Chain A
Amino acid sequence: MKASLFCTTRYEGPSRKGIWPVPADSYSAEIAQKSYQRWLSQIQLGDDVGFDYVTVAEHHFAPFSMSPNPLILAGVLTQRLRNAKIALLGPDLPILNPVRVAEEIAMLDTLSGGRVIAGLMRGSPNEYVTYNINPAESRERFQEGIQVIRMAWTEPQAFGWQGRYYDYRSISIWPRPVQKPHPPIFISAATPESGEFAARHRFGVGFAFTTLQIATKAAEYYRQQARVFGWEPSPDEVIYRLSFHVAKTDEQAVDDLVSAGMQASLGLGMTNKALEAAVAGSGYYGRDIETQRARLQSRGEINDRIENGQLLAGSPETVLKQIRRVRDTIGAGMLDLSLGAATLGEKTLQSIEMFGTKVLPQMRAL
């Protein structure tokens, strides 16, 4: 198995809670700059201790993750990382210009020497407010946009695109991706619609903001659909995201998580209930709306979160056991690991280091 380290560019000063968009009335430029430096030091440690990938993701209008363009973060990383590759998980495609996304990822692939994977996402529902895009059109925009991108990466001559949502009269991007035919594409396959789309186009899939039980069902549906289209996804084509915190002992890990206030990695813009209800009413969640809303609201105490496959926590031995269970259940070949206790300074760094040195070597053999 492989591991990707996902450290968010969290604003480390005070800010309003339980609201989205978050007002910037208490914003400090100095704190923001320090927050990015802290992020970079965590990522560099992850690279040093052997993480296979580091992850960047897109979020807007909130201190939770100051990464409105994760590809700029990735641009920084292309010049800093020594071994780790970059997992772009990902640009929120339906709210962006797909040709621009194709260009930027091709740049990153070139700057990094062919070391990016391209996770293209629909984003969490609140992101649709950001650039004023109708969330009801999200899936159609996504499915068309991803095909614009693939063609922009692979067509050797200038071409136009007469789409339903996108209309370009002449496209010929420079630079071109290093990886041939193009960087591996991953999409979220939380919904049955996405699972079918990924299977049809032979994309890899990722699961986040979910539970192991819900994601396992979705992964099985993806594999079943892939068989319909005549292929069998490998474990490397399934990424599962959860948070982690490793300490010397299980007790220490739990104490750390409690003192960090269990920085909930779930929620995002879902804290804005009126907004969430409006998006749910737009058809954004697709035909399996109950499961989709449930997984995004899923929270719990530390033990519940471990049980639900949302958290790896404990000593290296304990965490390795938890990883085995995740692996045996969902069959993922890569875990995307966010920080369970992101704000504990030295202890956060120790967790990254212990994961890299004490967990990863055994995890690779799984």
Chain B
Amino acid sequence: MGAAMREGSVKAGRFDIRYVESGAGQPVIYLSGEGGRTLPRAHEMLAERYRVIALEIPEPGQGQAAWTLGDAAPVMNSAIEALGLERFDMMGNSVGADLALRMAIERPQRVNSLVLIAPTAIRPKPARSTPDAAAKPSAEQERQRLSVFRRLIAQERDAALEERMREIAVPVLALFGTADAVVPTDAARLYSALLPKCFPVMVYDATHAVESDRPEAVAAIVGDFLAYGEGFVINRQKGLINP
């Protein structure tokens, strides 16, 4: 089992933002595209090495339809400030990754590195067939599954965001599921072109729910990236079989 979980909440503007944290050491902010505060198995595994803090992405109240990720970014940054974190790594999946990008752009000096998992910030139309995706849930089914957050999924390209992505100087690990019907693997090309230090990695046989589909794979590569930064490309596994 992973480390014990601690729940809490923090004030940020008019929002009361709940969070759950687990583990100790280097702090890692986690933003789930599904909006909840649960830690998927991948993060329980990460919590054995890091202090993982999953923040709930606040939803606007009734009648406040104009809420965007651009509005949420400063709110979330003040929540992190209220938690007393000076420097941290930040990871997010789906719209959570989109939000993490916007937060990093707003407060670049606080973030050590970024992990974007199936990020929806910019989404090219598939340039080639993704046959594996055909057998998996359709894009529409995936969006439905994302419930209230589906409306926050970016509509393909966002010129203003793309321009500012060039300012992100920290290393960015970007994970893409090879069977993702929402974000095609072709998106890796855009992130690589826009982010000065982007490391795209294809997670084989994962749908848009990359962490649920391949928890061990995600925990292994994210863990190495958080520990070694750009040096995560070096293999540190022992090859000795029969000492």
Contact = CB atoms under 8 A, between A and B. Distances in A.
Given A200-B131, A201-B131, A164 B205 contact: yes
Given A157-B192, A157-B200, A162 B134 contact: no
Nearest to A160: B201
Interface residues of A, number: 23
A225 to B, nearest CB: 12
Interface stretch (B59-67, B104-112, B213-221): B213-221
Contacts of B164: none
A155 B201 CA distance: 11
B220 A162 contact: yes
A159 B131 contact: no
A155 B235 contact: no
Contact of A169 (B132, B214, B233): B233
A194 to B, nearest CB: 15
Interface in A258-294: none
Contact of B201 (A144, A156, A169, A202): A169
Contacts of A166: 204
Contacts of A202: 129, 131
A155 B189 contact: yes
B175 A157 contact: no
A159 B134 contact: no
A19 B167 CA distance: 65
B131 A162 contact: no
Contacts of B122: none
A157 B235 CA distance: 21
B188 interface: yes
Contacts, number: 68
Contact of B188 (A144, A155, A201): A155
Contacts of A181: 128
Contacts of B24: none
Contacts of A164: 204-205, 217
Contacts of B193: 157
A169 B201 CA distance: 7
B1 to A, nearest CB: 24
A170 B192 CA distance: 13
A156 B204 contact: no
A262 B205 CA distance: 46
A162 B188 contact: no
Interface in B86-132: 128-129, 131-132
Contact of B232 (A158, A159, A163, A169): A169
A174 interface: no
Given A159-B188, A164-B205, A200 B134 contact: yes
A97 interface: no
Interface string B124-153: 000011011011000000000000000000
A163 B204 contact: yes
A148 to B, nearest CB: 8
B200 A162 contact: no
Contacts of B175: 162
B201 A159 contact: yes
B233 A162 contact: no
B135 A200 contact: yes
A277 to B, nearest CB: 27
A160 B221 contact: yes
A201 B129 CA distance: 9
A161 B189 contact: no
Nearest to A157: B192
B178 interface: yes
B185 interface: yes
A196 to B, nearest CB: 10
Interface string B215-243: 00110110000000000111100000000
A158 B132 CA distance: 22
A164 B189 CA distance: 23
B202 interface: yes
A170 B193 CA distance: 16
A322 to B, nearest CB: 36
A162 B189 contact: no
Given A200-B134, A229-B134, A159 B200 contact: yes
Interface string A237-272: 000000000000000000000000000000000000
A147 interface: yes
A158 B188 CA distance: 10
Contact of A162 (B128, B185, B203): B203
Contacts of A154: 128
A331 B127 CA distance: 32
Most B CB within 10 A of own CB, among A159, A162, A229: A162
A157 B189 contact: yes
22 contacts: A147-B178, A157-B189, A157-B200, A158-B192, A158-B199, A160-B200, A160-B233, A161-B202, A162-B175, A162-B203, A162-B214, A162-B218, A163-B204, A164-B205, A164-B217, A169-B201, A181-B128, A200-B131, A200-B134, A200-B135, A202-B131, A229-B131
Interface of A: 144, 147, 151, 154-164, 166-167, 169-170, 181, 200-202, 229
Given A147-B178, A162-B204, A202-B129, 18 more contacts: A151-B185, A151-B202, A157-B189, A157-B200, A159-B200, A160-B199, A161-B201, A161-B202, A161-B204, A162-B201, A162-B218, A162-B220, A164-B205, A169-B201, A169-B221, A169-B232, A170-B233, A181-B128
